[in-house]
Amino acid sequence: MVAEKFAARSHIALKKKGYQALYGVGRRAAEELMVLLPQTFMNRSGASVGPALRARRLEARDLVVIHDEIDLPFGALRFKVGGGHGGHNGLRDISSALGSGDFVRLRIGVGRPPAGGDVSRHVLRDFSPIEKSQLDDLLVIAAEALEMLLDQGVSAAMNAFNGRDISH
């Protein structure tokens, strides 16, 4: 949803099919960029991301992955550069496909399930009514965070958005 919001704000149509994904290509400042929505299962995202990067002659450091994060409360945003997968199977698969985890991540908090709750069921469930009421604001803020990342770099984006939480 964040990638779709960013693409819409950037006038990038996500209508092309390839790389086991829907994608669009556009420009921001003087840079060409691609927004890729893998159509694989999340756990197999690397099967989409890897070929897309190779075809465009890009490296892991050129990639920004947007993903849900159970270790952050709903509405919290955090940029992270590199690192492990932290148990996130989509990140694990992308890192494996690229041979590197050295990419930027925009982590979007979804919170943890109640004690003893199933993590998979939690991240796949519908948003609660309170979360739904905050979702539009979260998507706009996350798209703004990506815009700052591209325009001003990762340090500026981290300073401006890490710790930002729309649920307060």
Say if domain 2-161 classifies as CATH 3.30.365.10.
Answer: no
Q: What are phi and psi for residue 103, nearest 5 degrees? A: -130, 165
Task: Match 């041979």 to its residue by tokens.
Answer: 99
Average pLDDT, the chain: 93
Q: Please determine, for residue 165, whether its predicted confidence score (pLDDT) is greater than 80.
A: no
Crossing angle for the helix pair 2-9 and 129-152, nearest 10 degrees?
50
Q: Are 40 and 20 in contact, with CB atoms under 8 Å apart?
A: yes
Mean pLDDT of the region 127-132: 92
Contact indicator for 104, 64 with CB cutoff of 8 Å: yes
Largest interatomic CA distance in the chain:
49
DSSP H or E run through 46: helix 46-55
What pTM value is reported for the model? 0.92
Cα dist from 23 to 15, 26, 73, 93, 109, whole Å = 6, 10, 29, 19, 24
Confidence band for 64, pLDDT divided at 50, 70 and 90: very high
Looking at the DSSP bridge assignments, the partners of residue 165 are 76
To the nearest 10°, the Cα dihedral for 122, 164, 143, 52? -60
Q: What is the pLDDT of residue 168?
A: 52
Q: What is the pLDDT of residue 8?
A: 97
* 3-state class (DSSP) for residue 153: coil
**All structural domains of the chain with their residue ranges:** 2-161
Q: What is the pLDDT of residue 116?
A: 76
Q: Cα–Cα distances in Å, from 24 out to 5, 127, 154?
A: 13, 27, 23
3 within 8 A of 48, measured Cβ to Cβ: no
31: confidence class by pLDDT, cuts 50, 70, 90: confident
Of 47, 144, 148, nearest in space to 90 by CA: 47
Q: Indicate if the pLDDT at residue 110 is higher than 80.
A: yes
